[in-house]
Amino acid sequence: MQNVDNILTLLPGSWDELKLKDFQKLLDVTIKETDEFEDMFVGMDNMLSVMSKLAGVEVKELEALPFASLQKLLTKLAFIQTEPAKKFKSSIKWKKLDEITYDDYVNYINLSKAPLQNLHAIIKTFSKTVFTEEDVLEMSMRDVHTGFFLLRKMLLKSIRRMYRQSAMALAWNRVKQAWNNLLHIRRNRKGKGVN
């Protein structure tokens, strides 16, 4: 049986310390729903399952620890109950829309069937920066979260730009159509001898 200090060193204490590879381990954890009466016990069971996955320690070993020791472990993992704070930069530099190939798109369609399990492959496919799979799996979840936040901002900006360009093209087409209509009317008047 491991002691609490050993387990503490195995657990991340922030979103910066939680690596993508460890986050993906948590996808296998079944979180039980609770009601008000069971809330404390089911919540503890859920956290023990999370601790077990992150530290590589059996749930039974964790259950055998004194409650004060469990409290130390819970305190270290408290960050999980909050959203990661966004940074101003991410190590992920995304491809622009016009840099994405058809193969990338097809790859994304396949990967998006299980997006969280394939997060590393999605990042690898759409990042301008060439990463190895190991590099991506070692990224902090804060970096990954910021990367996707910045991707969203970039995509919204691209969509707004495309909308403006489409609106301008539509307006220009309307002006050209109106001009052509005027020319057509003028030709018809001249052909009939009307000025």
- Statement to judge: residues 158 and 105 lie in one domain: yes
HEC string for 9-24: HHCCCCCCCCEHHHHH
The pLDDT of residue 195 is: 57
The pLDDT of residue 36 is: 60
How many domains, in total, are found in the chain? Answer: 2
Q: At what angle do helices 119-126 and 141-191 cross, to 10 degrees?
A: 50
Do residues 21 and 135 make contact, with C-beta atoms less than 8 angstroms apart? Answer: no
Q: Buried b / exposed e across 63-100, counting CB within 10 Å, b at 16+? A: eebeeebbeebbebbebbeeebeebeebbbebbeeeee
Over the stretch 71-104, which tens digit does the pLDDT of each residue have?
999 999 999 888 888 777 888 888 888 888 999 9
Q: Which of 81, 110, 127 is the last residue of a domain?
A: 81
Q: Which of 81, 108, 137 is the last residue of a domain?
A: 81
- Statement to judge: residues 56 and 109 lie in one domain: no
- Indicate the pTM of the whole model: 0.70
- Statement to judge: residues 20 and 75 lie in one domain: yes
Instruction: Say if 8 falls within a structural domain.
Output: yes
- Statement to judge: residues 64 and 112 lie in one domain: no
Instruction: Say if 171 falls within a structural domain.
Output: no
Instruction: Say if 91 falls within a structural domain.
Output: no
CA distance 43 to 137: 28
- Statement to judge: residues 58 and 113 lie in one domain: no
The pLDDT of residue 176 is: 84
The pLDDT of residue 140 is: 92
Instruction: Say if 192 falls within a structural domain.
Output: no
Instruction: Say if 56 falls within a structural domain.
Output: yes
Q: Residue 114's domain spans which residues?
A: 97-165
- Nearest of 48, 38, 41, 39 to residue 69 by alpha carbon: 48
Positive or negative: CA dihedral 126, 129, 132, 137: negative
- Statement to judge: residues 64 and 108 lie in one domain: no
Instruction: Say if 193 falls within a structural domain.
Output: no
Instruction: Say if 15 falls within a structural domain.
Output: yes
Instruction: Say if 29 falls within a structural domain.
Output: yes
DSSP code, position 129: S
- Statement to judge: residues 75 and 101 lie in one domain: no
| Phi, psi (degrees; rounded to nearest 5) at 94 | -80, 150
Q: If you write DSSP's letter for every residue of 131-150 in order, what string do you get?
A: --HHHHHTSBHHHHHHHHHH
- Statement to judge: residues 75 and 144 lie in one domain: no
Q: Is the pLDDT of residue 183 over 90?
A: no
- Nearest of 6, 3, 28, 20 to residue 139 by alpha carbon: 20
- Statement to judge: residues 11 and 75 lie in one domain: yes
The pLDDT of residue 11 is: 94
Q: Which of 50, 81, 112 is the last residue of a domain?
A: 81
N-term to C-term CA, the chain = 102
- Statement to judge: residues 111 and 148 lie in one domain: yes
